[in-house]
Amino acid sequence: MVQDLFSPMVIGKNSSVFLFFKGRSIPKKNFLRGCKKMSRRNKRLIIGTILVIVPLAVVFLSKFVLQGASSVPKLNAIKVTTPPMLDGDASDAVWQTAPELKVTINGSWATSPVTVAGQGGGTATEITIPWVKLKALYTDTTLYVLATWPDSDLSITRGGGWDWTGTAWTKHSGQAEDRLAFWWPINVPKFESIGCRAKCHMPDAHPDCYTAGCHMKDNHPSTTGLEDECYVQTGERADKWHMKAARFLGVKSAAQSGVVVVNPTTHEVTGGKVTLIGYCDDKHTTEYVADKDGGRRGDSGSGATTDNRNAIKTSPKYMESNPDNYIDAMILTQTEINNGETIIVDTTGVTGAYAGDDAVTSAWSKYSSFNACVPENILKEPSGSRGNIEQAATWENGIWTSEFKRALLTSTTDQDVQFSDLTKEYSFAVAVMDNSGGEEHFWQKDYQNLVFVTLTPAARIVENVVAYPSPFNPKTGLLKFANVPADATIEIYTLTGELVYTLENPTSSAIVEWDGKNEDGKIVARGIYIYRVKSGGDEVRGKFAVVK
């Protein structure tokens, strides 16, 4: 009936008009004759009735009909045979087959731009991280998630780190690490109505927590004014993927491209490129049982860090004797210790001999030259379910790009979300922590569903050619054309029609790259450009933007 009400009324040769207020059909001939004989008063009455009924019907439609269609955003995971390389680089061609979902981060621990020291020893001065962009791929056995988000500086000084004065060690306070978290409800009924606020890790009495209708606990610890406010209930479970830039991410490797710009006071990177490869901390959430983390627990197994501090917490235990660069100095691994790349700084609770003041001073000169500090964490391989999620991430000039890899099915079914039914949708929410303790974080007030889909690979015809990324910065990367036919020619023009460059495809590759230079070898100016792809007698045109 709703469809009949709002379908266009067409009076054809043998048509009938449906009068919804009478509930019967009247032949066209009788309807038109009746209209001619109808009094002006009755015509007004019918018009008035329609003006009242139609708006009410629209309200009815939006409330009861449209609610049947899900309004939850979807992150479509695309089935692939060749997975991406886990290296913190999103330029793999396979990532271009996945649609992007832009998640708005619209919740904040603060209600105005302030600086607050948290339990983690960090500070947060930004009021928001505006967005996180997501993509997803999967194979028969594994899920891959790509996340990118803005962050003005790279922070990896969790626990403060250590500075050497020449005679003594001092704790470098006021810094923490960059983090990203995915929260997957396994059975948390409140999640569908309030998202990850079903388990709020935010300041006491935060308005977003109280208005969300979450389960409250009055007897939880709150010694700093920054502690969990809401908790999942007995029997409820959620999976948490927790990126930790300083404590899990650099276990396998840490590298920088050339020289990076470092703030000498905070030891944060403000310019350049750093890539870290390791793990994402696999955790889970259960009911509150008077523990300090409010039900947030590590999965079975051991984590990826041990403390780099002596038994009385007055100095580090180890430091590298000759670090290669900033990121090598900031990431200390058990492998480096085992390989003899470190010296013993303090023997309190440590087996071995003190390296001596001269050795410490010499090593510190290298740290100081890189504006680095000695980290408080020693990274090691995690064990058990704590190491289920592999991760590689790159911070480059204000943008984090992170790849996550996890098996669709794990053995810890009580702690991990199981992607066992690929016809099902899996809900999750995202939160970001920028150089802060977990309390001072930014979250999304809603959520999205992960959906597994299978697409037929695009044929290599001109209609399917795509150019990415756009906008494109020729100083930091390459413009790529995907699905390019083997015999294609690509011409690049300015908006005024001036030919800038012509690309051939001599290797018959499906991906053709352009470095942003014109025929004279000079980088083109910023602006909008047109590309034309020609193959045989077919051609297609498109646009892309150049920024610097």
Tens of pLDDT, residue by residue, the chain (548 residues)? 233 322 332 323 333 333 333 334 444 445 445 545 555 555 555 555 554 444 444 333 333 332 333 478 999 999 988 899 999 999 888 898 788 899 988 776 554 443 333 333 334 444 457 899 999 999 999 999 999 999 999 999 887 799 999 888 998 776 789 999 999 999 988 888 777 777 765 554 455 554 555 555 543 444 444 345 567 778 889 999 999 999 999 999 999 999 999 999 999 999 999 999 999 999 998 887 666 566 788 999 999 999 999 888 899 999 999 999 999 999 999 999 999 999 999 988 788 899 998 999 999 999 999 999 999 999 999 999 999 999 999 999 999 999 999 999 999 999 999 999 999 999 999 989 888 765 667 878 889 999 998 765 566 778 888 888 878 889 888 998 888 888 899 999 999 999 999 998 877 777 899 999 999 999 999 999 999 999 988 888 989 889 88
Tokens of 455: 């697409």
Query: CA 516 from chain center: how many Å?
Result: 28
Check whether the bond before 506 is cis (ω within 30° of 0): no
Distances (CA, A) of 12 to 18, 70, 263, 270, 524: 13, 37, 77, 71, 61
Do the Cβ atoms of 323 and 269 come closer than 8 Å?
A: no
Question: CA 100, CA 86: separation in Å to the nearest integer?
Answer: 18
Question: CA 125, CA 440: separation in Å to the nearest integer?
Answer: 10
Tokens of 168: 């003594």
Residues 6+ apart with CB under 8 A from 381: 251, 304, 387
Distances (CA, A) of 415 to 65, 108, 295: 37, 27, 12
Give domain limits for the chain.
2-68, 74-247+263-278+393-453, 462-546
Task: Find, among 154, 105, 147, the residue nearest to 129 by Cα.
Answer: 105
Give the domain 462-546 fold: Immunoglobulin-like (2.60.40)
Question: CA 100, CA 89: separation in Å to the nearest integer?
Answer: 16
| DSSP H stretches of helix in 38-180 | 40-60
Task: Find, among 53, 76, 174, 80, the residue nearest to 118 by Cα.
Answer: 174
Same CATH fold assignment for domains 74-247+263-278+393-453 and 462-546? yes
Name which CATH class applies to 74-247+263-278+393-453: mainly beta
Residue indicated by tokens 């018959």: 508
- The secondary structure of 319-340 as a DSSP string is EESS-SSHHHHH-EEHHHHHTT
